[in-house]
Amino acid sequence: MKPSLREEDPKATDYLAEHAKACEWAKANRDLIALRFLAILGPGEEAWDPGSRETATVSEAALVQARTKLAERKVVDIWHNNVERIPWPPAPPSDTNLRDATNSLPIPHHMQPQEHVYIHRKGAAPTYDPGTNQPLSLLPLPGSRATPTLILRPTFSATTGYGAHNALSLAHGAGRALSRAKALSSLTSKYKDPSVLLKPIAAPQQRDSRSMGEDVHRGTWVICDEKDLVYEEVPEAYKDVYAVADDLVKEGVAEVLGWCRARVSYEVRNKGR
């Protein structure tokens, strides 16, 4: 968590500026993907019109309208692979959860010396909005194609150092139980016909669905024209999302609010189709 680039290094600023550009590109790319989906799912909505065009010129006014409507629909917008420079250690929030005038840090109960450090998240999600530095009210924890996405709320307490215990981060998904190579080599014999994996598959380890709704374990349809990728992403290749969530709750860094289930998982299409 200590800086890997010394702040007096003149190259550090250039590196981080290029990194910031990459993050902004990723954010814009996510917006474009969302816009294209909305253009299909909500035909007739004028705001999604730019998403239905690939080569036609789009007016600036149409882009502004699309961005505004997209912002209204966003629930969470984060990076889970990035480097971030932040004050450390985290300051505890006040009893009233007020923010200081700069909107950058919670008002602390007591002053404590801080220094700037770099957090490198690789497959981890921040517990706060990097744009506003406000705590996130919810955070998705995706499972596999056979299990739901659990909805978490990051929690902060003195016991966890107000985020220091988990580096202001949470798991961004259940994580792989089998490497891609292992999944491909070991599961091709089990699923001789890869088309079976394109249909909803029930979770191998069922939880009591009465409290979560019987629809929770029905799996998702998959759109993918890459045979190897279909095998690499089988449900058995991933850890139990409930066990991962249980560990986070046990550590006091999150609580489970609910769940949602994807209807379609889109991987890759053959351009010729």
Confidence category of residue 24, pLDDT binned at 50, 70, 90: very high
The pLDDT assigned to 126 comes to: 94
- Please give the mean pLDDT across all residues of the chain: 82
Considering only CA atoms, which of 148, 122, 156, 126 is closest in space to residue 139? 126
Which range among 56-70, 97-111, 137-151, 251-265 shows the weakest confidence by mean pLDDT?
A: 97-111
- Interior angle at CA 125, CA 226 and CA 103, nearest 5: 140
Look at 238 and 92; give whichever has higher pLDDT.
238
pLDDT of residue 31: 93
pLDDT of residue 102: 36
pLDDT tens for 232-262 read: 888 889 999 999 999 999 999 999 999 988 8
Tokens of 162: 């107000």
DSSP assignment string, 22-87: HHHHHHHHHHHHHHHHHHHHSTT-GGGGGGG-SSS---HHHHHHHHHHHHHH-S----SEEEEEEE
Query: What's residue 83's pLDDT?
Result: 92
3-class DSSP state for residue 194?
Answer: helix
- Average pLDDT (118-145) is 88
pLDDT tops 90 at residue 92: no
| Number of CB atoms found within 10 A of residue 183's CB | 20
What is the per-residue pLDDT for 7? 52
pLDDT digits (tens, 9 = 90+) for 181-223: 999 998 888 888 888 889 888 765 545 444 555 556 678 899 8
Residue 272 in this model has a pLDDT that exceeds 70? no
**pLDDT on residue 265:** 87
Span 32-85, pLDDT tens digits? 999 998 998 888 888 998 888 776 688 889 899 999 999 999 988 888 899 998
Instruction: Judge whether residue 145 has pLDDT over 80.
Output: yes
The whole-number pLDDT of residue 16 equals 86
Stretch among 3-7, 21-25, 104-108, 129-133 having the lowest mean pLDDT: 104-108
Q: Give 131-183 as a DSSP string.
A: TT-PBPS-EEE---TTSPEEEEEE---TTTGGGTTTTTEEESS--BSS-HHHH
pLDDT for 8 equals 55
